[in-house]
Amino acid sequence: MTTRNKTVAAWLALAGGPLGLHRFYLHGLGDLLGWALPIPTALGLYGLERAREFGVDDTLSWLLIPMGGFTFAGCTLTAILYGLMSPERWNARHNAHLAGDAPPGQTRWLTVGAVVLSLLLGATVLMSSIVFSFQRYFEYQIEEARKISQ
């Protein structure tokens, strides 16, 4: 049986979460959600490319960019959940063949580092995505109102 380490899973969720790496680590290559995660990530990156090419007034870019941001923020939340999970619960869920207090489920300083960095980056990306999408939405509504009033 394969042993799953909580610290490795937390760092994979932070660094490679939008590509599904943490899902593949925990559930294997047959995990459908792991294969689905790169789709909104790629759409968000495509939105960034469109914004660079056509400017931030491009409607499709302001619809696509938050998809990547929300995916990244969700993966950082997953890293936080992994890092804060108790060793007993971690080992019961991912290392059922081990005792509840086995070392793979223990919280180490690297685990705490993953949680802190995930909190910092996740909150920043989430708030930026929300602000960007709402700003573009309201600017679009104002433009449409001006068109109607003329």
Q: What is the pLDDT of residues 63-93, one digit of tens each?
A: 899 999 999 999 999 999 999 999 999 999 9
Q: What are the C-alpha distances in Å from 128 to residues 55, 66, 120, 141?
A: 17, 9, 12, 20
| Global confidence as pTM | 0.86
Q: Are residues 101 and 88 in contact, defined by beta-carbon separation less than 8 angstroms?
A: yes
Q: Are residues 76 and 122 in contact, defined by beta-carbon separation less than 8 angstroms?
A: yes
Q: Are residues 102 and 95 in contact, defined by beta-carbon separation less than 8 angstroms?
A: yes
The residue-averaged pLDDT of 135-139 equals: 86
Domain extents in the chain = 6-149
